[in-house]
Amino acid sequence: MESKQYDFVVIGAGPGGYVAAIRAAQLGLSAAVVEKDLVGGVCLNIGCIPSKSLIHNAQLFAQGKALLEKTGAKVDLSNFDYSLVWKASRLAADRLSKGVNFLLRKNKVDLIKGKAMLSGASTVDVETPGGSVQLKAKAILLATGSRPRPIPGFAFDEKKIFSSTGMLMSDKLPKRMFILGAGAIGMEFAYVLNAFGVEVTVAELLPRVLPLEDEEASKIVEKEFRSRGVTMYTGARASGAEVKDDHVVIHLTDAQGAPLDIEADAVLVSVGRATNTEGLGLENLGVRMERGYIITGDYHETSCAGIYAVGDITTYPQLAHTASKAGEIVAERVAHLLKGTPNPRERTVDRLHVPSAVYCEPEVASFGLSEASAKEKGIRHEVARFPYRGNGRAVATEAPEGQVKIMFDPDTKAILGASIVGEGAADTIHELLLASKAELTVEDVAELVHAHPTVSEAIMEAAKAALGRAIHY
């Protein structure tokens, strides 16, 4: 077996893995990344990047049609070809994947294509198309990501019952789509499909859509989706699906306990993701795990010294940017230990300062404590809100549905968390996130002069509302 020696070996070239490898190389370490599939991981190839391309084109399609009809124009959609929209999403993913390959070469990170398994605390065996290779490493990072989680009664065939992966790789639209799960993935697909004219039904087991987001934000989103003709069942349990020749029958029990049979042309299952930890040899090394997730401590190190883990396989939020940040922390820690560089800035990712975002329309973004979590933990707090309908830019661009909501300490006025629902939420949330991270107060945000008219003025007004002096509401 061929053998190679590195300072740092990463298993998985997703947003956690490739970022960690590049950062390690910047710090003078010899680094290699093992990847059995496409560079860039799920997010770049079959996740957040192609889905955002679809969302962008769905927005242009729906808004352009609405604008033309409002001005009296007749819109003929008879030659609409969704496959061209799909091809644009694949082009975006392919371009960025090639870009990551370039960055790895530029930083002299070796990319090894194959399936990896840990044969020891400092040894990785890789089955490549050309034979077996053994990599010896002073530190190893696991960043193998996740895959769509199947559930009983809804086995993926990627023809009638789709995973998110299968849906992103499909260049055709069904006439009727049933979506199981109203989290971020389900609601983003519901938006895209509805915008392109698909009859959409969404079912969620929990009492509301987007159950991980602020309750007020989820109510605004649900109201908007219903107004566009999306049928929604919350507090509903799906027991299975029967695939017929030309349709699917979904067996559902609604919130009142009544049984329902819903017909659709296809089903999208979006009820979470399963970790990719099988076959890595973790059980032989005593790596501590709980419910399929790897438990990590300071610097994202596992219970086996010298082996680190980041991303979806850990208990941290399953978000690409969380994985990337954790990867940087690991690389800086390993470089410190091996090269004597300065101590890393952070010991772990600060969960309270990790933003989340849902890219449907209206967008939703948040960070830190929610009102519900503050109450649950008994943390003293106050809440300030400002509605989008009081914001000139939102009204002028016909996007008045939304609000900025800030959680703050009633004594110090420190920002404890925030939620934004509405136009540009995923971008504007970072003003409040930076303020909170820098230990600024709502007064600091309120005093900052904002350009007019901008959606970000709603943040300033919400901060002023926290001080009892909002102007436009």
Other residues' Cβ atoms within 10 Å of the Cβ of residue 154: 21
Q: Are strands 176-180 and 273-275 parallel, antiparallel or unpaired?
A: unpaired
Contact indicator for 263, 244 with CB cutoff of 8 Å: no
**CB neighbour list of residue 106: distance below 8 Å, 6 or more residues apart:** none
Report which secondary-structure segment, H or E, holds 44.
Answer: helix 41-46
Q: Is 56 annotated as catalytic?
A: no
Other residues' Cβ atoms within 10 Å of the Cβ of residue 137: 25
What are the φ and ψ backbone dihedral angles of 63, each rounded to 5 degrees?
-70, -40
Nearest C-alpha neighbor of 45 from the set 98, 84, 81, 82? 98
The separation between CA 309 and the C-alpha centre of its own chain, rounded to angstroms, equals 18
Residue 246's alpha-carbon distances to 61, 170, 270, in angstroms, are 28, 17, 22
Q: Is the torsion defined by CA of 453, 459, 464, 469 positive or negative? A: positive
The active-site residue out of 56, 381, 452, 472 is: 452
Nearest C-alpha neighbor of 230 from the set 267, 202, 257, 204? 202
d(CA 77, CA 67): 14
Q: How far apart are the first and last CA of the chain?
A: 71
Q: Is the torsion defined by CA of 38, 309, 168, 196 positive or negative? A: negative
Report which secondary-structure segment, H or E, holds 242.
Answer: strand 237-243
Helices (H) and strands (E) in the chain, counts: 14, 24
- H-helix segments, 212-353: 215-227, 282-285, 320-339
The conformation of residue 73, written as its DSSP 8-state character, comes to -
Other residues' Cβ atoms within 10 Å of the Cβ of residue 169: 16
Enzyme catalytic residues: 452
